[in-house]
Amino acid sequence: MGGYGEGRKFPRQRPPPPDRGWTRRRRGVGETRSRCGRLRWCGNAECGVDGEVGTAEGTDEGSAQYPGPGLDGSPAELAGEQPSIHGDQRRGRGPAGVLRPLQRPSGRSRRPDRRAGVMSGPWEQIPLFALPEGTLTASPDFTDDVLPDDDAASVDAGVFVAADQAGSEPAVAAHRESSEQRDAAEADDAPTPPSPEVDGAAVDGDEVDDDAAGSDEVAVDPPVWETLPAGEEADGHALIVTAAGTYTPSGRELTGPVDSVEKLDKLIRWAALTPLGAPAQIWIVGQGACELLGWIIDPGSEDDVDDMEALRNRAAQELTAVLHATLTPLLNAGWELRGDPGHVVHLSRSIGNFTSMVDVVIEPYVWTYWNKDFGWHNRVGDMGILGSPTAGTYLPDDDLPAARELGRRLAWCAQHLGVLPGPTPARTGAAIVDKIKRERTRSGKGIVVTTPGSVPPLDGPPRGDLEPAVGWTRVPDAQDLDGTGRLVSIDQRAAYLASAGMLEFGYGQPTHLTGNAAAAAAVGEKGAPFGLWRITLPAGQALSLPEKLPLPHPHMLADQPVQTWVTTVSLDGLCSPVADGGIGAELDDLDITEAWVYPQQGRALDKWAKILREARKAAVDTDDEATKRFLSTCYKGYIGRMVNPDMWTATRMQHHHQPLWRASIIAHCRWRGRRVAMRIAREHGRWPVRTVTDSWVYLLADSEDIADASEALGKMSVEKDVVLTDTLLSAFASAEDVHDVNLAIKAAFADDEEGDL
């Protein structure tokens, strides 16, 4: 059967610098405005946007949309003929001035024959459910009594018996409601998001005039990860729908185009997909597939708003309205919506005691969801399993290569994480935790945390985080600048993941202690137990501390003592010797007056961290930057969301609310970084000029190397290394305050500081 054209090399654009602004280009009869990126808004469907906003032209009803046969069983389709799927058709080309959002940035050729032939062979169009020999067959008129073969999905026979006994309902991919489904059903408040900026030269190089059509064109090799094979681990759990047809994640073609919501319903019921740590998934890839289903929105142009967030909100509202208007056939067929539909449509259907749950993910519109997992203000960030627009790991430009790469990533998640990717990276991290929780509950072995770990009522709690990440800059002196010619940023390799796997976390109902009882609780055979401690931080000036490092704790002041709450990690850190980053305090010096101590503690996240660590190694070993970055967003997103109870309001999700775990992880990374800074000062005589979270910036000589040799997580690796020009050296030498230093660092690195947490 036709696959994804494995082995074929597809052109791919190079993203320009992240701060590239809006540009104008002529596109045929219309002038378009674009900010390049895979998530496009384009006039004539040939320019791109980075996921925030843009312009696009929609479909003209008078134009031939997908002139080839669809799912109606027409002779051409039954004969296996390949309809002409041109790029401008697929991208919704229409009259100039019509603004429609498109999803991916650009490899935009004006030659539809090139875009139509992106695969290694023709894509045979198969009527829905009329599968080739060796697979399940059904008549083209969509019989309801078909059962999937092993490649599609397996369902207990009892499920269909129960369905038959329930009445004349068609056979559904119904399963007794699993704990995975129940957890996911209560997590539907979570969503997903946007794309890379396109180098204009790379785009224009693809857009050749007719008189130059015969000239040689330079083929750009795809990134390494796009050439990796797609496994079969996600088959039976997910499907990918494009304008050309429907495919398993491994690339096996199942059906022709899905050109109506009724046929989408039949596809879902026929496929009988099963959950894998999350509900089964149907991915709609490409604007053409959305057009066939009537899922087109027109939120307007970026010129109409001052804030791109307003455009995103408008688009999200319009998408919800369009879906409500078009999903009636699904609802009439017995499906129910779990929450308002958006870029993810959460569907469930119950027959007796059996429940089928499916998430329909609309890839062109993931940008309509926005949170810190994917962007910050009007910048585009990581978009979960779809990749990072600014880092160049988003899906390929054209729909079929994009479908192949998405299928590969879905299979990769199933193989290495044991779950399908969640609607956000944080939800993916939570799904892995829940998978481990179910396994430990069944086996009776291992730590199982079932309750939230809300911050207990504190007397005089600090403002902001209990354990803030450090942010500090100083003005370099003559000694710092002597003999230096490089600016180097080092950071801890996967810092949060490293700490999460080695720390013991408390759980259960904490005990409140005061006075001598609180002080006594901190003295134990294995050290202080997991908890919160109200202590007095001495004034920094009263201690013999290095002048070229920040104070040991962010709550500490130079000129006066401060009473505050800290975690056990900070309690241990403060008692460490100055040479190891602490202040050399005794417990009595810290004047413990109050404490909340947890009755149980253990390495609750050890297996979670091991799964992610091994998956990260697999990604690194295969140069799979896309999945490596995705993993980073998973553990950072999950740990970051531990603090927010609003993320975990559903009963079966509340155990993910663990703000003290998060505070302990942040504190552990902070103390580890300070300990390394002290070691570097001893061994190299160099002191940092800036630290942000887990990264440390140094002025170094040409031959100096201060990174750790070890490849272990938590060790220091070089993040950025630039040679300083005379102008930049002068900027550091003439800096009068920390603001000047920060400007000089920004100019040298030209990118925002962002550690590999």
Model confidence over 176-206: pLDDT tens digits? 445 555 554 444 444 333 333 333 333 333 3
Tokens 């795809």 found at:
222
Indicate the pairing of strand 562-567 with strand 471-473. Answer: unpaired
* CA proximity to 296, closest of 489, 130, 57, 645: 57
600: its two tokens = 């149980």
Cβ-Cβ contacts under 8 Å for 397 (sequence gap 6 or more): 11, 12, 13, 38, 104, 105, 106, 107, 108
329-343, 363-377, 395-409: lowest mean pLDDT where?
Answer: 363-377
pLDDT at 312: 84
Say whether pLDDT at 370 is over 90.
no
Higher per-residue confidence, 101 vs 347 = 347
CA angle 221, 244, 275 (to 5 degrees): 90
pLDDT at 367: 83
Phi, psi dihedrals of residue 536, rounded to the nearest 5°: -115, 115
Question: Which tens digit of pLDDT belongs to each residue from 37-64?
Answer: 333 333 333 333 233 333 333 333 333 3
Give per-residue pLDDT as tens, 629-682. 999 999 999 999 999 999 999 999 999 999 999 999 999 999 999 999 999 999
pLDDT of residue 351: 87
What confidence category does residue 757 fall into, taking pLDDT thresholds of 50, 70 and 90? low
DSSP state of 137: B
pLDDT: which is higher, 335 or 59: 335
What are the CA-CA distances from residue 173 to residues 76, 249, 283, 431 (Å)? Answer: 30, 18, 17, 22
Measured CA to CA in angstroms, residue 343 lies from 188, 192, 367, 388 at distances of: 12, 7, 8, 17
User: Nearest-CA neighbor of 169 among 335, 378, 387, 405?
Assistant: 335
Residues facing 191 on adjacent strands:
none
Q: What is the pTM of this model?
A: 0.74
Mean pLDDT of 1-9: 42
pLDDT above 90 (res 386): yes
Task: Please say whether the beta carbons of 392 and 199 come within 8 A.
Answer: no
d(C-alpha 700, C-alpha 230), whole Å: 44
Q: Indicate if the pLDDT at residue 99 is higher than 50.
A: no
Query: Does the structure show a pLDDT above 50 at 75?
Result: no
Here the tokens at position 37 are 């990126």
pLDDT exceeds cutoff 50 at 215: no
Contacts of 549 (CB under 8 A, 6+ apart): 674, 677, 678, 687, 688
**pLDDT score of 236 more than 80:** yes
Mean pLDDT of 137-152: 34
In 3-state terms, the chain is what percent helix, strand and coil (to 5)? 35, 15, 50
The candidate with the shortest Cα–Cα distance to 355, out of 252, 279, 465, 287, is: 279
pLDDT surpasses 60 at 65: no
Report, as an integer, the average pLDDT of 100-119.
Answer: 32
Instruction: Give phi and psi for 148, each to the nearest 5.
Output: -75, 155
Q: What percent of the chain has pLDDT over 90?
A: 60
- Sole residue written with tokens 């091994």: 614
Q: Mean pLDDT across the chain, nearest whole number?
A: 76
pLDDT higher than 90, residue 697: yes
Neighbour-count burial of 452, counting CB atoms closer than 10 A to its CB (0-12 exposed, 13-18 middle, 19+ buried): middle
Average pLDDT (530-552) is 96
pLDDT at residue 381 in the model: 56
Q: pLDDT at position 54, please?
A: 32
Q: What is the pLDDT of residues 252-297, one digit of tens each?
A: 999 999 999 999 999 999 999 999 999 999 999 999 999 999 999 9
User: Is residue 507 within 8 Å of residue 598, measured between CB atoms?
Assistant: yes
- What does the pLDDT look like over 470-485, one tens digit per residue? 999 999 999 999 999 9
The pLDDT score that the predictor gives to residue 722 is: 96
Q: Residue 754, Cα to own-chain centre: how many angstroms?
A: 16
**Dihedral (Cα; 119, 122, 127, 129), 10-degree rounding:** -60
Q: Is the pLDDT of residue 705 over 50?
A: yes
How far apart, in Å, are the Cα atoms of 642 and each of 89, 332, 497, 598, 599? Answer: 44, 39, 14, 18, 20
Q: What's the confidence (pLDDT) of residue 525?
A: 80
Q: How many CA atoms lie within 13 A of 573 on its CB side?
A: 24
C-alpha span between 406 and 427 (Å, rounded): 18
Q: How confident is the model at residue 219 (pLDDT cuts 50, 70, 90)?
A: low
Which single residue is written with the structure tokens 């911050």? 455
Could you read off the pLDDT of 500-518 as tens digits, one per residue? 999 999 999 999 999 999 9
Q: Nearest 5 degrees, angle CA 387-CA 98-CA 241?
A: 40
Can you tell me the mean pLDDT for 545-549?
Answer: 96
How many CB atoms neighbour CB 275 within 10 A?
Answer: 23
CB-count exposure of residue 612 (10 Å: 0-12, 13-18, 19+) = buried
β-bridge mates for residue 362, sequence order: 284
- Residue the block writes with tokens 């005589």: 685
Match 């102008």 to its residue by tokens.
Answer: 727
CB 125 within 8 A of CB 73: no
Tell me the C-alpha distance between 182 and 275, whole Å.
11
H helices present in 23-104, as ranges: 75-78, 87-90
Q: DSSP for 214-246, please give it.
A: TS--PPPPPPGGGGSPP-STTBTTEEEE-SS-E
> CA–CA distance from 261 to each of 142, 331, 343 (Å)?
13, 10, 16
Structure-block tokens of residue 471: 């942010």
Q: Using an 8 Å Cβ cutoff, are 278 and 414 in contact?
A: no
What's the Cα-to-Cα distance from 695 to each of 553, 690, 692, rounded to whole Å? 16, 8, 5
CA distance 607 to 642: 18
Q: Which of 86-100, 310-324, 369-383, 648-662 is modeled with the greatest confidence?
A: 648-662
Kindly tell me the number of DSSP H helices and DSSP E strands found in the chain. Answer: 21, 23
